[in-house]
Structure 1
Amino acid sequence: MMFRPSRMLLLATAVALGAGCAVQNPYVRDDGQMRKSTTYGTVGAIAGAAVGAATSSKKDRTKGALIGAAVGAAAGGGYGYYADKQEAELRRSMQGTGVEVQRQGDNIQLIMPGNITFATNSADIAGNFYAPLNNLANSFRLYDQNSIEIVGHTDNVGAHAYNLNLSQRRAQSVASYLMAQGVNGMRITTRGMGPDQPVASNATESGRAQNRRVEINLRPLPNAQY
């Protein structure tokens, strides 16, 4: 049976676009436009499907096209395609935890508010924060081709030096826990910013609550293969 191009296109596109399902479609930007990584991934998938079909026996041609499409999609998409899949997995695993997932180009940011992370004036991880951290550790072990920057933030109540130290200790607590769960410490860096990078006004309680947070920034590792 001849493997028609139209059938190959359908198979390749299905592989390229069906790699991840999430609450928010990871292949469509907020403005409704298709991500570039999806375009490149689809092109790679079609090319891979063609190669897979051409190099397989007649009996295994469909199977070969599917395998070739999957490999081609990943290669064609590069880090953008890789980050799309990771973003989708993170949105799924962080749903309902209070952890916010944001995406800026190739960078993924996780924002963890103070009400789920640490008690007041403490760098000890709160009991209800362990479950989200365990999910993050699982994701970071699975997706191991990006750096992990952990940044602690506080409001402006109290001495600046105290808040700076507290934010660093909180970032280090998160890093230590992730490493204890098997995340490679070579990928992890920590910073404490104290009250120096507020995202809301410190004049109100709700604003101070937003400023008390831990952020994790995921960026591509230099020279990594995707």
Structure 2
Amino acid sequence: MKRLNKKLSVAAVVISTLSLSACQTTDPYTGETKTNNATKYGVGAAVVCALIGSKKNSKHARNAGLGCGAIGAGIGAYMDSQEEEMRKEMAGTGVQVERNGDQIRLIMPGNITFETSKYDINPGFHQTLGGVVRVLTKFKDTQLMVGGHADSTGNAQSNQTLSANRALSVANYLQSQGIASNRLMSRGFGSDMPIASNKTVDGRQANRRVELDIVAIKQ
């Protein structure tokens, strides 16, 4: 979708200003560089706030933008309820649900979401995404960042392109099911943010994923 692609350029500017290297550590056993969880969640939130800021002519966006800096006391309970319903919907699907403060993250493994080296969503995964849509439709006071990730196999450009296309596919599907485009953002991270070692088969499989960050906004 053109609108999502325009938003993508805003996010890229924000992410390029974040020094991920300052928040990375080197595993003393494998020698691999890993990004800590605080940084990974922070990138998602920063991108969402960039999306909000890009819509400064909207009254709703101005209120939402305030939420990036000052989350209201009631947001925690709101996100608690959303997390509970999301966990119920995702039970048994293979999608992980994580919570970090006022942000919820869904981790969608690449092996159940897409065919190898493809970015068309597996038809069998549509039902799972339907569960995501049901929750997001009920809890509208959030902004959404879809991030695509790859393992370190292959060249960096191919990984970047594939991860971006996969993220966009998920974002476009959510939009096609009724999620407002002004809540959505997508971005490919290539192999820059592994969550496991790329030296093992299981680790590489874990790194091939799409993440959906759900960030609370203040009304």
**TM-score scaled by length of structure 2:** 0.66
Amino acid aligned to 2:164 = Q
| Alignment match, 1:199 | 195
> Moved runs in structure 1, 4+ residues, more than 3 A?
none
Equivalent pairs: percent with the same residue? 45
Amino acid aligned to 2:136 = F
2:167 is aligned with 1:171? yes
2:79 is aligned with 1:83? yes
| Alignment match, 2:115 | 119
> What whole-Å deviation, never above 9, does each CA across 1:168-190 have from its counterpart, x for those lacking one?
00000000000000001100111
Structure 1: any 5+ residue segments left out of the alignment?
1-75
- Using the TM superposition, give the Cα deviation of residue 134 of structure 1 relative to its aligned residue in structure 2, in angstroms: 0.8
What is the alpha-carbon root mean square deviation over aligned residues? 1.1
| Alignment match, 1:58 | none
Number of equivalenced pairs:
148
What is the alpha-carbon distance in structure 2 between the residues aligned to residue 167 and residue 115 of structure 1? 13
2:151 is aligned with 1:137? no
What is the alpha-carbon distance in structure 1 between the residues aligned to residue 216 and residue 198 of structure 2? 33
Match of 1:151 among 143, 147, 157: 147
| Alignment match, 2:124 | 128
What is the alpha-carbon distance in structure 1 between the residues aligned to residue 173 and residue 130 of structure 2? 9
Instruction: Tell me the secondary structure at the aligned position of residue 112 of structure 1.
Output: strand
Instruction: Tell me the secondary structure at the aligned position of residue 210 of structure 1.
Output: helix
Instruction: Tell me the secondary structure at the aligned position of residue 147 of structure 1.
Output: strand
Match of 2:183 among 179, 187, 193: 187
Structure 2: any 5+ residue segments left out of the alignment?
1-71
| Alignment match, 2:103 | 107
- Using the TM superposition, give the Cα deviation of residue 115 of structure 1 relative to its aligned residue in structure 2, in angstroms: 1.3
What is the alpha-carbon distance in structure 1 between the residues aligned to residue 149 and residue 186 of structure 2? 11
What is the alpha-carbon distance in structure 1 between the residues aligned to residue 205 and residue 135 of structure 2? 27
Instruction: Tell me the secondary structure at the aligned position of residue 204 of structure 2.
Output: helix
What is the alpha-carbon distance in structure 2 between the residues aligned to residue 113 and residue 91 of structure 1? 16
Amino acid aligned to 1:187 = R
Amino acid aligned to 1:150 = V
- Using the TM superposition, give the Cα deviation of residue 127 of structure 1 relative to its aligned residue in structure 2, in angstroms: 2.0
> What whole-Å deviation, never above 9, does each CA across 1:158-210 have from its counterpart, x for those lacking one?
11001101100000000000000000110011110010000111111100000
What is the alpha-carbon distance in structure 1 between the residues aligned to residue 193 and residue 163 of structure 2? 12
Amino acid aligned to 1:168 = A
> What whole-Å deviation, never above 9, does each CA across 1:6-40 have from its counterpart, x for those lacking one?
xxxxxxxxxxxxxxxxxxxxxxxxxxxxxxxxxxx
What is the alpha-carbon distance in structure 2 between the residues aligned to residue 115 and residue 169 of structure 1? 15
Larger Cα-atom Rg: 1
Instruction: Tell me the secondary structure at the aligned position of residue 116 of structure 2.
Output: coil
Amino acid aligned to 1:171 = A
